Amino acid sequence: MLPGWRFSVAPMMDWTDRHCRAFHRALSGRARLYTEMVTTGAVIHGDRERLLGFSGVEHPVAVQLGGSNPADLAQAARIAAEFGYDEVNLNVGCPSDRVQEGRFGACLMREPALVGECVTAMKAAVCVPVTVKCRIGVDDQDPEAALDALADAVVTAGVDGLIVHARKAWLKGLSPKENRDVPPLDYGRAARLKAARPTLPLAVNGGLRSLGDVQARLAEVDGVMVGRAAYMEPAMLLDVDPLLYGMAAPAPDPFAAVEAFEPYVAGVLQSGERLHAVTRHMLGLFNGRPGSRAFRRHLSTQGMRADADLDTLRAAVALVSRDRPDARIRDAQAAA
CA distance 1 to 145: 25
> Can you tell me the distance from the alpha carbon of 19 to that of 147, in angstroms, rounded to the nearest whole number?
34
94 among known catalytic residues = yes
Q: How far apart are CA 250 and CA 27, in angstroms?
A: 6
Show Cβ contacts of residue 233 under 8 Å, excluding neighbours closer than 6 positions. 284, 287
Residue 87 DSSP symbol:
E
Q: Are 334 and 289 in contact (CB under 8 A)?
A: no
Euclidean distance between CA atoms 295 and 320, whole angstroms: 7
Q: Hey, CA dihedral for 121, 123, 128, 134, is it positive or negative?
A: positive
Separation between Cα atoms, residue 320 and residue 322, nearest integer Å? 6
Phi, psi of 308, deg, nearest 5? -60, 140
- Nearest-angstrom CA–CA distance, 10 and 226: 6
Residues 234, 249: Cα–Cα separation, whole Å: 13
Compute the distance between CA of residue 89 and CA of residue 37 in angstroms, rounded to an integer: 9
Transcribe 134-186 into DSSP letters: EEEEETT--HHHHHHHHHHHHHHTT-SEEEEEEEEE-TTTS-TTGGGTSSPP-
Choosing from 94, 107, 118, 134, which is the catalytic residue? Answer: 94
Three-class SS of residue 234? helix
**85 within 8 A of 129, measured Cβ to Cβ:** no
- Cβ neighbours of residue 96 closer than 8 Å, sequence gap 6 or more: 105, 176
- What amino acid positions are annotated as catalytic residues? 94
